[in-house]
Structure 1
């Protein structure tokens, strides 16, 4: 009864589609136009993707920091490592460049040689005065040498801030206004003002200016993502259409398929705009993903249409059979693929949730689109000619399928042996995989801004801000000498860690005050003693409201202090080791009953977020496997069939994981995404094969051997076609300059290729070997839904219609 109801439903649906072709086409055009208007709501993400939930303890601590000190990722740094900078012409040009940025409303503060202040002790009344470091605007060679000597040898306060002590690199800091850091104004300023001014300076002086800082990196990185979307879409269309044409040798079939997937891409952009989701590194791959997943739908539908035409030559019946016989099976495979993506929506990561929602909606919408567009356009076109059907009998494809049959028939021991060897070798490789929380690892290594990042890591020990928030639990507790000494001891510990830069805090200013009190002698750049503090205090009081940038290192109540260090892109593993090593020292320096000390900042947020995201992706993969296993059991009414359906799909995943270990590809968001994507797609082949096998079992009176080979012959061609398209389609992502996208493309392609071989060799071998215990009539009871009706059932339905 369930079978007939399902068959009746699809027959009714086929009649509705073919009788209302024009209305449906108008509806598709209307939806496309509506979604096209939603493109205006698409926007690039201007903030870092926070991979942690809002209520995660690390996020809560970071929000606490922001409430006290505001946005900390607003620094852009410029640097020059060139001895010719210290010539009158170039020195003035450098100062003029930095001074010019002050006129722009986007800039909050500029710190460069031209803006430096130095403390001067005055006696009557006792006070510290801030005086300009540069006394003139026109410089002689002798003056510049004097400034250079004073800066590098007498002002340790500015070490790591304005100059690198090792190579004498000069650095300037531009602080963007905090309220524009995560808006489009940041992008406009960098593209329309900062970059042109720097290029003009380089042309004028012949010096190379290095630029970095989180706002700058994010802007160029985001623009790279946008630029690649267009390249991916064009490359995916070109590759898939070329392969499709080579298989079908038909411009008409290729044109129809491309029409369907191009509309699908337009819908993908429209859905992103409709939901008002930002374009991130994940959502950016959805449009080309639509093309790669959509073409296999087209292959199954068009291949079946041409097979029916070749069989009986009736176009109307062929189109109806396409909907009735292939529509249900293709729907099931698309649902399993969509389910794999939908599991991302169940995670607590906003980044993954949005990707999962948009991807799953688009995959289901794409199935409907392909089914409607292909059947309706073919209904208006002339019947395919003999030359359009030649590909159905290609000798080389037949030879490939014959080889698979021989392997399954005669070499099952070899197939099992190779599978076991792959499994063992893969497990060994899995143990060597490392987890990476590197912010820079996925960025394009050939990009100019990446080379600049490496420069700042070498010269200034990094550009990623790591913050230490100290709560003294009492007002003005930061300025107590005991607290300052504890902070100083912590900074000395931090300076010993090679991956971290020189710390910046209120301690630096207090040390500079003592140096100034002793007439600028650099050897007194240290914290005052209790006795010295009493002498220095009258001078320091006059300076409390003039500290400039250093005021941002103590909050207005004096209860909270921050220590800022910049860190190299060291990844999760090293960062965790540093945290573990610092924990006992922090506990000793800052007793918990008197102080609360916590690590925070964008660098830590990203690395903790990576660990969290990896866990969420692992959870979503496990959930996808469970859901699809339940789905398979429901479809075939057999829990035992889960074993047969999962083994050929899990083995390629394990093989890919092992390969990652041997190739030293780390586990990170982009690479662990591979497993969920590949599993959701590869299981489609299993469904197609088992659906046809179930059908052949009944037609052949439960003769298992005959049914296995009949199913292999029938589905082998389509599975080979679709897997080839998927392999080359995902390979398109390997042209990306982003390491994560490149790894995603290469690993998914590899996984799907082995999944095809596994489904065409290992799956039928298992069915034959386990025929008595699993693959028999008792096990394969009546399915809950009819996936692919047999020809006899279709004839029976046709005869009922005629009556």
Structure 2
């Protein structure tokens, strides 16, 4: 079969080149239409309880996480010129398309009771812009008379002030958000320059926009970096321009196909799919190397160019097919996870790994058939003395020092298991940005000054219409108690709820004195309610905290990015305490009747992130197990012996264990970006196992060599390509260490380390296992009386005695 495939490729080389060229143009057209995904990645499946509650919350109260905040030291705003510049900044930002509201110390409203009209009125506190320092001082004193805004737009304790910029929800998940944030930043920079005042910016819209821009920039950077790194390595290996240029052209065909696939499938560019182009380069180049090495080897053995290319296809394609299948499995397992971003990443990567394999096997022989055969200078890399000496040393060690190998591997594995047990699952919302980045520094500023900027919501269901104000406004007073409870946690900002609105109304009702900023008695509350009963404006303003049926209400708070473990601790501690506040009758010392109990749920972006992080960690761990099982099952089609399958999987498993142990000792947390490593690395590292075992099997079956001779020859010949591949993969994935995202850095460094360990295990541990089996394998099905393996199960069904292999 392989003989016929090789014949077909060389016979139809021109039509095949034209066909792939047309496919590239077609996919390239769609690749030009690729768009970035501006939605925040949905971490949980639709049927998850936390996801359902969050969607219900958004339906009732709108999307949370719509506020961008700009912070400044309050002292700086006591200057008339600085204050006026701050006021102008707020006005200019409010004028931008897509901005819903802007609230700052210069843009706040007072609430006054108009007795003649019998209603409350919001009146801008600033009125006219202060004309002199005296007017400004008086205004700032008036601001402090309004406790409602303390902790919201200013904080007296930390002497800080902020500007809260609320985005239109429809703008947040579109490209326009980036343009608006850029316009806001320009306005802020102009303020900074004119006043020489330092500001700090944060909030989810700002964080998301900054991260999205970094993703876009890094995608281009790593695509170029992957090309440069692989070009340098190819030239070092082959010392010729042709292998470099045409290998990169072939791989870029794979990249274009991958980008086109994203568009054809209706996907958009995400933080993960942005990694696919450089991954295709790094994973695809070894395909070209292996085919070229086999071609050069056959030329060195005196074959004609046509025969050498024919044998290169025939002997390399099957092993490359199996190797790329295992790599694809490593990506495809992500499709089993109920997460859109991971599904799209796994699907596109798996398909295009195989597409790039096809391009390599077809185009390398087809293109090089039109070029002159390599001369002696270009074949010199096959006889590299240093590499040959190293491989000879490896062969010697595996033959005479197997016990030392086993003891060393066992000790390292035990130590790694100890380290593995130290791994903790932990993550932050803004996890992948370096701590020195201005984004993190500004985030910490708001955490220190205001408690945090990440949305944390408490949804209260009274279970009946108008339940918030029924039973003498029992819910309102319980909300007040709940807010006192929330204030005990340092990670939270000041809570905001309808109870705060009631306090503001009461202060206004009592003439505006700060001491009356508190919940009124039920009698006074009913009186106040009469003033706003028929006012649509007030009802609209209450809609942010009260649904139209008055059954549901919320307590909004911002939380610091304190890590998934701490958020979980807070949630598990806070939830039962809130249940007690809302459903335990202190006077009767008993729980309310079930029909009178409120349903209290914790939701909001931060809770969804916490649950989503746990969901992904658990499912990605399962995906690693699935990848191991699928790859082992796939090997059943290659090796009929269970013992051989176990031998084939151990080197890669050892590599994973060592990497996990290293993570434990280095305190690298288990999170989605680090767990991704194991499925991908196991799939790629299994390639080396297959390269070795297919060559080993070929030598035993075709040349009737003993196990010892077959192992020695395999190390000597296949070892060259395995070393080349390991170097390309190490430096290819290692370049991701240059990323500005911690997750991408971890992905690159950990996969690089895992693959180097795996390839070393495939060159040392795997041969040692095979040699140890030489005297033990007595199964007639596997070894005959002469000690030669005669397994008649062909790895690829073909009549020709040539068996696929790699040199």
Q: TM-score, with normalisation over the residues of structure 2?
A: 0.94
- Secondary structure of the structure 1 residue equivalent to 2:538: coil
d(CA) in 1 for partners of 2:58, 2:519: 28
Q: What does the per-residue CA deviation read over 1:729-784, in whole Å, with 9 as the maximum and x for residues that have no partner?
A: 00010000000000100000000010011111111111122334459763476465
d(CA) in 1 for partners of 2:579, 2:219: 48
The corresponding residue for 1:370 is 360
- Secondary structure of the structure 1 residue equivalent to 2:428: coil
Which of residues 497, 505, 513 is equivalent to 1:513?
Answer: 505
d(CA) in 1 for partners of 2:797, 2:680: 25
Which of residues 165, 168, 191 is equivalent to 1:177?
Answer: 168
- Secondary structure of the structure 2 residue equivalent to 1:312: coil
Q: Give the alignment of 1:379-418 within 5 angstroms.
A: 379-418=369-408
d(CA) in 1 for partners of 2:321, 2:444: 49
- Secondary structure of the structure 1 residue equivalent to 2:129: coil
73-82 or 645-654: which moved more? 73-82
The corresponding residue for 1:523 is 515
Which of residues 232, 241, 266 is equivalent to 2:256?
Answer: 266
- Secondary structure of the structure 1 residue equivalent to 2:106: helix
Distance 1:686 1:790, change over 3 A: farther
Distance 1:534 1:336, change over 3 A: closer
d(CA) in 2 for partners of 1:715, 1:791: 22
Please say if residues 14 and 320 of structure 1, whose CA atoms lie closer than 8 Å, have aligned partners that are also in contact. Answer: yes
Which of residues 291, 295, 299 is equivalent to 2:285?
Answer: 295
- Secondary structure of the structure 1 residue equivalent to 2:695: helix
* 1:489, distance to aligned residue in structure 2 (A): 1.4
Q: Give the alignment of 1:468-507 within 5 angstroms.
A: 468-480=458-470, 481-507=473-499
* 1:120, distance to aligned residue in structure 2 (A): 2.4
The corresponding residue for 1:59 is 51
* 1:623, distance to aligned residue in structure 2 (A): 0.8
Which of residues 558, 562, 576 is equivalent to 2:554?
Answer: 562
The corresponding residue for 2:786 is none
116-125 or 564-573: which moved more? 116-125
The corresponding residue for 1:308 is 298
The corresponding residue for 1:762 is 765
Q: What does the per-residue CA deviation read over 1:203-232, in whole Å, with 9 as the maximum and x for residues that have no partner?
A: 221112222111121111011001001110
The corresponding residue for 1:704 is 707
The corresponding residue for 1:644 is 647
Q: What does the per-residue CA deviation read over 1:384-420, in whole Å, with 9 as the maximum and x for residues that have no partner?
A: 1010000100100011101111211222122111111
Which of residues 147, 155, 159 is equivalent to 2:146?
Answer: 155
Q: Give the alignment of 1:115-514 within 5 angstroms.
A: 115-124=107-116, 126-152=118-144, 154-191=145-182, 193-480=183-470, 481-514=473-506
- Structure 1 unaligned runs (5+)? 1-8, 796-803
Corresponding position: 1:621 with 2:627 = no
* 1:641, distance to aligned residue in structure 2 (A): 1.4
Q: What does the per-residue CA deviation read over 1:106-157, in whole Å, with 9 as the maximum and x for residues that have no partner?
A: 11122122321112244445543322211321332122222223323x2221
* 1:542, distance to aligned residue in structure 2 (A): 6.8
d(CA) in 1 for partners of 2:625, 2:777: 24
Please say if residues 126 and 139 of structure 2, whose CA atoms lie closer than 8 Å, have aligned partners that are also in contact. Answer: yes
357-366 or 45-54: which moved more? 45-54
* 1:583, distance to aligned residue in structure 2 (A): 2.6
The corresponding residue for 1:44 is 36
The corresponding residue for 1:3 is none
d(CA) in 2 for partners of 1:450, 1:794: 57
Please say if residues 499 and 567 of structure 1, whose CA atoms lie closer than 8 Å, have aligned partners that are also in contact. Answer: yes
The corresponding residue for 1:5 is none
d(CA) in 2 for partners of 1:139, 1:45: 47
Distance 1:785 1:228, change over 3 A: farther
The corresponding residue for 1:742 is 745
d(CA) in 2 for partners of 1:639, 1:156: 74
d(CA) in 2 for partners of 1:534, 1:401: 89
The corresponding residue for 2:588 is none
Please say if residues 637 and 795 of structure 2, whose CA atoms lie closer than 8 Å, have aligned partners that are also in contact. Answer: no
Distance 1:640 1:66, change over 3 A: same
Which of residues 56, 59, 77 is equivalent to 1:85?
Answer: 77
Which of residues 4, 8, 14 is equivalent to 2:6?
Answer: 14
The corresponding residue for 1:551 is 543
Distance 1:509 1:543, change over 3 A: farther
Q: TM-score, with normalisation over the residues of structure 1?
A: 0.94
Paired positions, count = 785
The corresponding residue for 1:799 is none
508-517 or 491-500: which moved more? 508-517
513-522 or 252-261: which moved more? 513-522
d(CA) in 2 for partners of 1:552, 1:521: 26
The corresponding residue for 1:533 is 525
Please say if residues 503 and 565 of structure 1, whose CA atoms lie closer than 8 Å, have aligned partners that are also in contact. Answer: yes
* 1:447, distance to aligned residue in structure 2 (A): 3.5
The corresponding residue for 1:6 is none
548-557 or 60-69: which moved more? 548-557
Corresponding position: 1:571 with 2:571 = no
Distance 1:745 1:788, change over 3 A: farther
275-284 or 698-707: which moved more? 698-707
Which of residues 682, 689, 693 is equivalent to 2:692?
Answer: 689
* 1:596, distance to aligned residue in structure 2 (A): 1.6
Please say if residues 78 and 209 of structure 1, whose CA atoms lie closer than 8 Å, have aligned partners that are also in contact. Answer: yes
Q: What does the per-residue CA deviation read over 1:153-190, in whole Å, with 9 as the maximum and x for residues that have no partner?
A: x2221122111232321111111111121111212222
Which of residues 760, 778, 795 is equivalent to 1:786?
Answer: 795
Q: Give the alignment of 1:578-589 within 5 angstroms.
A: 578-589=570-581
- Secondary structure of the structure 2 residue equivalent to 1:483: helix
Corresponding position: 1:606 with 2:609 = yes
- Secondary structure of the structure 1 residue equivalent to 2:602: strand
The corresponding residue for 1:653 is 656
- Secondary structure of the structure 2 residue equivalent to 1:694: helix
* 1:334, distance to aligned residue in structure 2 (A): 0.4
Which of residues 3, 6, 20 is equivalent to 1:28?
Answer: 20
In angstroms, what is the RMSD of aligned CA positions? 2.1
d(CA) in 2 for partners of 1:539, 1:269: 61
Please say if residues 698 and 803 of structure 2, whose CA atoms lie closer than 8 Å, have aligned partners that are also in contact. Answer: no
* 1:52, distance to aligned residue in structure 2 (A): 1.0
d(CA) in 1 for partners of 2:386, 2:745: 32
- Secondary structure of the structure 2 residue equivalent to 1:348: coil
The corresponding residue for 1:801 is none
Please say if residues 468 and 550 of structure 2, whose CA atoms lie closer than 8 Å, have aligned partners that are also in contact. Answer: yes
d(CA) in 1 for partners of 2:189, 2:174: 24
Please state which structure has a larger fraction of its residues in helix. Answer: 1
* 1:38, distance to aligned residue in structure 2 (A): 0.4
* 1:445, distance to aligned residue in structure 2 (A): 3.6
d(CA) in 1 for partners of 2:779, 2:669: 43
Please say if residues 237 and 724 of structure 2, whose CA atoms lie closer than 8 Å, have aligned partners that are also in contact. Answer: yes
Q: What does the per-residue CA deviation read over 1:456-507, in whole Å, with 9 as the maximum and x for residues that have no partner?
A: 1211111110111111112221134210111111111111111111111111
361-370 or 426-435: which moved more? 426-435
d(CA) in 2 for partners of 1:162, 1:581: 29
d(CA) in 2 for partners of 1:50, 1:625: 27
Distance 1:626 1:399, change over 3 A: same
Please say if residues 77 and 174 of structure 1, whose CA atoms lie closer than 8 Å, have aligned partners that are also in contact. Answer: yes
Please say if residues 463 and 566 of structure 1, whose CA atoms lie closer than 8 Å, have aligned partners that are also in contact. Answer: yes
- Secondary structure of the structure 2 residue equivalent to 1:172: strand
- Secondary structure of the structure 2 residue equivalent to 1:166: coil
Please say if residues 636 and 782 of structure 1, whose CA atoms lie closer than 8 Å, have aligned partners that are also in contact. Answer: no
d(CA) in 1 for partners of 2:450, 2:268: 33
* 1:32, distance to aligned residue in structure 2 (A): 0.7
d(CA) in 1 for partners of 2:494, 2:718: 64
- Secondary structure of the structure 2 residue equivalent to 1:546: helix
